[in-house]
Amino acid sequence: MAKKLWMIGRMVLIAVMALVTFCSGAWGALALWYQLPGNLATRTIGSAIWVIGVIALVILAINRRSWLPFGIYVLSYAVLMFWWVSIAPSNNRIWAGDTSRLLTGNVEGSQVTLNNVRDFSWRTDDDYDARWETRHYDLDHLASADAVLSYWGSAAIAHAMISFGFDDGSHVVFSVEIRKKRGQQYSAIGGFFKQFETILTAADERDIIRVRTNVRGEDDYLYPLRMDRAAMRALFLSYVHAANRLAVTPAFYNTITSNCTTIVYRMARQIDPGLPWDVRLLLTGYLPEYLYKVGALDRRVPIAELRQRGRITERARNSKPGDDFSRVIRVGIVEPEDAPDAHH
């Protein structure tokens, strides 16, 4: 009986080690492919050598029934990890035009000055009139906060932004995005492997919404949030402070742990520590259902109706250059009642 248990235990251990080796080996291959210095051929060769080496060690361990190849693999993986942690984020690269400048903000009481607010006029992703502005905001006149979600394929995945409105009708949108280098394309998998830095963009609604609906063919929705003025003010300032931190201390974007929604969630937790975590913070396309659940959307109206009213894609696409874009996209959207107890 003892021998049988020992055999079972040995088989379980071997199975676990095989699984760990496979997963870590695959991760190492992708890490090398995305981050090894050099061109595509160099990265492909480096990744292939790693894969061949891992397979050879596994075959050697099986054939010789020896733990030595596993020890060699552990040592090799430790070297790989030492290299991996040495890869540091930077603000000094040749950036794409729309992420070439970093947002910063100065706060003096209720007065906020934002530097490098983007207000581009887009014709295509590569053809635009670039405008970077310094804008001033009085938080005593902050009137609204809206969640804007932009979908580009899957119903489960969307890019989330927050638009703050003021009582003079002006709006500014904060968006946590990847900071692409010139000529670089977005990759969800690359977002796990330090391929992109994080940038916090502040932009005019006509820029950051219209480029998605009119240029990139995305489908956008706007949801007015039930937040009291103190919470809106705190969230606005959280964005400003986050932008200032990124300007001093760059950070990598991560598809799961540091994306457009998880960062907003962490900031919101500073306002309301009781805000629950939910898988819909990762499956960002379902974020409206989460916001509805926690009371951040108007629950007098069914979520399906809020979604229907909040679809701004056609209104954005049909807007004219001289239109008040922010007013046009909000036609038919009912503002929620004041909610001093939102999120509770």
How confident is the model over 246-270, as pLDDT tens digits? 999 999 998 777 777 777 777 677 6
Give residue 128's pLDDT. Answer: 96
| pTM attached to this predicted model | 0.87
Q: Are 268 and 290 in contact (CB under 8 A)?
A: no
Q: What integer pLDDT is reported at residue 344 of this predicted model?
A: 35
Domain ranges of the chain: 2-85, 97-329
Q: In 3D, which of 58, 54, 34, 56 has the Cα closest to residue 44?
A: 34
Chain-wide mean pLDDT for the chain? 89
What mean pLDDT is predicted for residues 184-197?
88
- Tell me the per-residue pLDDT of 203-256, one tens digit each, with 9 for 90 and over: 999 999 999 999 999 999 999 999 899 989 999 999 999 999 999 999 999 877
With cut-offs at 50, 70 and 90, classify the pLDDT of residue 91. very high
Predicted local confidence at residue 20, as pLDDT: 87
Give the length of the chain. Answer: 344
Residue 339 one-letter amino acid: A
What is the structure's pLDDT at 340? 44
Terminal-to-terminal C-alpha distance of the chain? 57
Instruction: Write down the residue that tokens 């992109």 correspond to.
Output: 196
3-state secondary structure the chain: CHHHHHHHHHHHHHHHHHHHHHHHHHHHHHHHHHHCCCCHHHHHHHHHHHHHHHHHHHHHHHHHCCCHHHHHHHHHHHHHHHHHHCCCCCCCCCECHHHCCCCEEEEECCEEEEEEEECCEEEECCEEECCEEEEEEEHHHEEEEEEEEEECCCCCCEEEEEEEEECCCCEEEEEEEEECECCCCCCCCHHHCCCCEEEEEEECHHHHCHHHHHHCCCEEEEEECCCCHHHHHHHHHHHHHHHHHHHHCCCECECCCECCCHHHHHHHHHHCCCCCCCHHHCCHHHHHHHHHHCCCCCCCCCHHHHHHHHECHHHHHCCCCCCCHHHHHCCCCCCCCCCCCCCC
Sign, CA dihedral 160-136-340-330, equals negative
pLDDT at 343: 39
Q: Which amino acid is residue 161, in one-letter code? A: M
Tokens of 315: 């209104």
Query: What pLDDT shows up at residue 1?
Result: 65
Q: pLDDT tens across 38-82, in order?
A: 898 999 999 999 999 999 998 888 888 788 888 999 999 999 999
Using alpha carbons, select from 239, 260, 226 the residue that is nearest to residue 343: 226
* Range 138-154 average pLDDT: 94
pLDDT value of position 342: 39
Instruction: Report pLDDT for 130.
Output: 97
Confidence at residue 276, expressed as pLDDT on a 0 to 100 scale: 79
Which among 185, 173, 335 is positioned nearest to 264, based on CA atoms? 173
